[in-house]
C-alpha cells in the first residue's frame, strides 16, 4: 500500500543509519592533542637538570680553588718540577757582572734576589732589571739567564758630571742633568759647579761647549744660569764672563781667540760681556758688578 514501509527494510535502514552515524562519529572525533606546555616543561626540566649539574661542578671547583686545594696542588706540582730541574743542573752557580764601578756587590745580589743553588728557571730577568735600575748609580741594566747555571748582568752606571747648587744645597748630577741619589758632593769637589734653577737641564750643552776650548776651560770655577735663559761664567780671579742667550759657543770661541792673542784675562778686568755679537765689552775694577747680575 502506498505510504507503508516494510518493517524489515526500515530496520535495515535504521541499522545502516546507526552504522553510518557511528562511522561518521568515529571519523569526525578529534584526536587527543599533546599538551604543548607539558612538553615544554619536560624539556625545561631536562635543561635545568643539566644546568644544575654543571653549576654543582663549577661551584665545587670554585670551592676547591677558594679553599686552597687547587692552588696548593698547583704550587706543590710547581715546586716538584723546579726541584727536578735543580737535580738536572739548572741552578744558579755563578753571577757575572760587567760595568760595575760604584754599585755595591751586595746591592746587586739583593736586587737580583738569588743565591747559590736557586732554581735558575724560577729567576725572572725582567723583574731583576727593574730592581737594578732603581739603584742610585744604575742608569740602565741588561739581565740574562745563561743556562744552565749562570746569570749575566751588564750595568750602565751614571757618570758624575757636575755639582748643582740650588737654594743653598749641593747635589751631584750626571751627564743627562739628573740628580744622583745618595751621591756625596764632598766626594766630587773637583767637578764643575753649575748654579741656579734650570741649570741641570742645560749643563750637558754647557760642559760640551767649555770642553771645546780646553785651556780656557781650566779657568772656569762656576757657571750661573741667569733666568733660565743664558749663562754667566765665573773664572779664576773673580772674572765674570757674560755669555749671550743665542749661540754662546761662538762667543766662547771668540773669547778663547782673544785670550790667545791679547791675554785679556791677565789684565785688571772683572767683567767681560760677550752678549753683543759685534763687540766685546770689558769692565775694569771700578765698574765691577756682582757675578750673575743681568744688566
CATH number at residue 173: 3.40.50.11690
Answer whether 108's CB lies under 8 Å from 100's CB: yes
Domain that holds residue 232: 160-287
| Count, residues in the chain | 295
Which of 157, 183, 205 is the endpoint of a domain? 157
3-state DSSP call for residue 125?
A: helix
DSSP sequence for 25-82? HHHHSPPPPP-HHHHHHHHHHHHHHHHHHHHHHHHHHHHHHHTTHHHHHHHHHHHHHH
pLDDT mean across residues, the chain: 79
d(CA 294, CA 198): 16
Which of 141, 157, 173 is the endpoint of a domain? 157
pLDDT of residue 98: 97
Q: Are residues 230 and 269 in the same domain?
A: yes
Q: Are residues 182 and 263 in the same domain?
A: yes
d(CA 283, CA 293): 14
Q: Are residues 122 and 206 in the same domain?
A: no
Is 62 a domain residue? no
pLDDT of residue 89: 77
Q: Are residues 132 and 239 in the same domain?
A: no
User: Residues 39-86: pLDDT tens digits?
Assistant: 444 444 344 444 444 454 445 545 544 555 545 555 566 666 766 777
Work out the average pLDDT over 260-272.
91
pTM beyond cutoff 0.75: no
* pLDDT over 90 percentage in the chain: 56
Which of 157, 172, 189 is the endpoint of a domain? 157
pLDDT of residue 21: 46
Nearest to 270 by CA among 244, 234, 221, 224: 234
pLDDT of residue 9: 36
Report how far apart, in Å, the C-alpha atoms of 294 and of each of 14, 116, 219, 283 are.
139, 62, 22, 14
Q: Are residues 166 and 260 in the same domain?
A: yes
Nearest to 274 by CA among 237, 236, 246: 246
Number of domains in the chain: 2
User: Residues 171-221: pLDDT tens digits?
Assistant: 999 988 999 998 999 999 999 999 999 999 999 999 999 999 999 999 999
Answer whether 143's CB lies under 8 Å from 132's CB: yes
Is 174 a domain residue? yes
Work out the average pLDDT over 97-106.
95
Question: Can the peptide bond before residue 148 be classed as cis, meaning omega within 30 degrees of 0?
Answer: yes
Q: What CATH number is attached to the domain comprising 110?
A: 3.10.20.310
Is 27 a domain residue? no
Amino acid at each position: 500500500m502506498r505510504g507503508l514501509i516494510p518493517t524489515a527494510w526500515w530496520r535495515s535502514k535504521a541499522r545502516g543509519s546507526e552504522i553510518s552515524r557511528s562511522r561518521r562519529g568515529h571519523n569526525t572525533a578529534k584526536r587527543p592533542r599533546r599538551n604543548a606546555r607539558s612538553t615544554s616543561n619536560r624539556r625545561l626540566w631536562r635543561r635545568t637538570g643539566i644546568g644544575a649539574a654543571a653549576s654543582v661542578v663549577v661551584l665545587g671547583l670554585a670551592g676547591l680553588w677558594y679553599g686552597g686545594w687547587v692552588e696548593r696542588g698547583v704550587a706543590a706540582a710547581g715546586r716538584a718540577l723546579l726541584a727536578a730541574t735543580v737535580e738536572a743542573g739548572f741552578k744558579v752557580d755563578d753571577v757575572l757582572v760587567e760595568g760595575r764601578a760604584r754599585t755595591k756587590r751586595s746591592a746587586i745580589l739583593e736586587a737580583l734576589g738569588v743565591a747559590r743553588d736557586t732554581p735558575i728557571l724560577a729567576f725572572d730577568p725582567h723583574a731583576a732589571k727593574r730592581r737594578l735600575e732603581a739603584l742610585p748609580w744604575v742608569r740602565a741594566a741588561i739581565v740574562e739567564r745563561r743556562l744552565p747555571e749562570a746569570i749575566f748582568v751588564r750595568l750602565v752606571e751614571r757618570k758624575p758630571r757636575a755639582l748643582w747648587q740650588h737654594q743653598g744645597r749641593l747635589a751631584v748630577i750626571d751627564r743627562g742633568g739628573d740628580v744622583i741619589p745618595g751621591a756625596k758632593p764632598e766626594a766630587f769637589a773637583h767637578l764643575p759647579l753649575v748654579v741656579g734653577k734650570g741649570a741641570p737641564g742645560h749643563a750637558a750643552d754647557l760642559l760640551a761647549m767649555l770642553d771645546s776650548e780646553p785651556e780656557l776651560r781650566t779657568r772656569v770655577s762656576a757657571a750661573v744660569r741667569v733666568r733660565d735663559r743664558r749663562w754667566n761664567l765665573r773664572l779664576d780671579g773673580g772674572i765674570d764672563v757674560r755669555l749671550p742667550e743665542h749661540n754662546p759657543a761662538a762667543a766662547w770661541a771668540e773669547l778663547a781667540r782673544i785670550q790667545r792673542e791679547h791675554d785679556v784675562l791677565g789684565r785688571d778686568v772683572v767683567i767681560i760681556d760677550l752678549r753683543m755679537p759685534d763687540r766685546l765689552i770689558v769692565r775694569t775694577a771700578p765698574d765691577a758688578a756682582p757675578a750673575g747680575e743681568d744688566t
